[in-house]
Amino acid sequence: MLLAGLFGWIVLSGCERPDQPDKVVESNQVDPLILAVQPYDLPSSVQQHFAPLQDYLSDVLKRPVKLYIATSYEDQIQKVLSNKADLVYMGPTIYVKTQKIQKRAQRPLKPIVTEPPYRGVVVVHEQSDIQTMSQLRHKRLALGAYFSYAGHFAAREALNQAGMQLADLSLYSFLQRHHRAVMSVVYRHFDAAATTEGIARRMISQGHPLRIIHSTKPLAPIVLAANHHLPDALTERLQIALLNPTFEQELTLSLFSPQGYRPYQGQHYREVERTMTHFER
């Protein structure tokens, strides 16, 4: 009897070991939200750039946010369509394209906020004789990704305004990333490259021998949107936290977006859709 009682006490004690609750905690852990972003620059640069926003969103939602850097603009679309992305940070062209597909499937993206409008530019080597867009006739132009607005569609619009089409160039190529397109001019592989003003000025400040020959008007801004399956309450919480941050939150956000965020305005993207339709006919 004494041995049986002792054995029973040992069994019960084993069931009450402090490592048992850890298993319960693990099973209740919340899956991270996936924030899918475009591969507009070197992956290491994109990762570093988005780190403050990633931390901020995690803090606001009290839930981990994991960054996914898409391998291509098309890959980002596929992540949305397959519900493998919860939040997306999209340029205007890719946003319009994805939203069109999602609305057709009755699963539209939920726009949260936008960055301020930005400008596209065309750069040449600082020692180049090219001064204007019209002088690109029979020259080589490096573009970004097909679905990049500044790196493709805005550049083609600038060519049209100068009386040219892609066929009037001696060579053009989609090099996928802004950084790659601009560096092709630095190394004289191409005569000019299309990119964003921010990237061009950053690379000039880093000492790269570049010169801007064309700037666009302000373009439709980059969008932060939620996929269709996220609750409205969550997107509203993000919207409030990004549009009306506290003083401390504003300091954190400024590390990512110094000019802050703006309310989403759908009319900006109707012009993007018209531009895409014109060049894709």
Look up the domain containing 129 and give its range.
118-219
At 12 the pLDDT is: 41
User: How does pLDDT run across 141-175, given as a tens digit for each residue?
Assistant: 999 999 999 999 999 999 999 999 999 999 999 99
Residue 20 lies in a domain: no
At 7 the pLDDT is: 41
197 and 108 in a single domain? The answer is no
User: How does pLDDT run across 37-90, given as a tens digit for each residue?
Assistant: 998 888 898 999 999 999 999 999 999 999 999 999 999 999 999 999 999 999
Residue 262 lies in a domain: yes
At 29 the pLDDT is: 74
Q: Tell me which of 219, 243, 264 is where a domain ends.
A: 219
SS3 label, residue 1: coil
207 and 237 in a single domain? The answer is no
- Mean pLDDT, rounded, for 198-206: 97
Task: Using the Cα atoms of residue 19, residue 20, residue 23 and residue 26 in order, give the sign of their dihedral.
Answer: negative
132 and 160 in a single domain? The answer is yes
Q: Out of 13-17, 194-198, 206-210, 243-247, pick the least confident.
A: 13-17
User: How does pLDDT run across 183-192, given as a tens digit for each residue?
Assistant: 999 999 999 9
111 and 38 in a single domain? The answer is yes
112 and 250 in a single domain? The answer is yes
CATH number at residue 166: 3.40.190.10
Q: Tell me which of 191, 219, 247 is where a domain ends.
A: 219
At 10 the pLDDT is: 39
At 90 the pLDDT is: 97
At 252 the pLDDT is: 85
Q: pLDDT > 70: what percent of the chain?
A: 90
Give, in degrees to the nearest 5, the angle at Cα 112 between 111 and 116. Answer: 100
Count the domains in the chain. 2
At 139 the pLDDT is: 99
100 and 231 in a single domain? The answer is yes
SS3 label, residue 67: strand
Residue 90 lies in a domain: yes
On whether the CB atoms of residues 124 and 130 are closer than 8 A, the answer is yes
At 228 the pLDDT is: 97
Residue 209 lies in a domain: yes
At 30 the pLDDT is: 84
122 and 215 in a single domain? The answer is yes
250 and 137 in a single domain? The answer is no
What mean pLDDT, rounded, does the chain reach? Answer: 90
User: How does pLDDT run across 6-37, given as a tens digit for each residue?
Assistant: 444 434 444 444 444 343 333 347 899 999 99
On whether the CB atoms of residues 140 and 172 are closer than 8 A, the answer is yes
- Residue 105 has phi, psi (to 5 degrees) of -90, 5
85 and 106 in a single domain? The answer is yes
Q: Out of 56-60, 129-133, 229-233, 244-248, pick the least confident.
A: 244-248
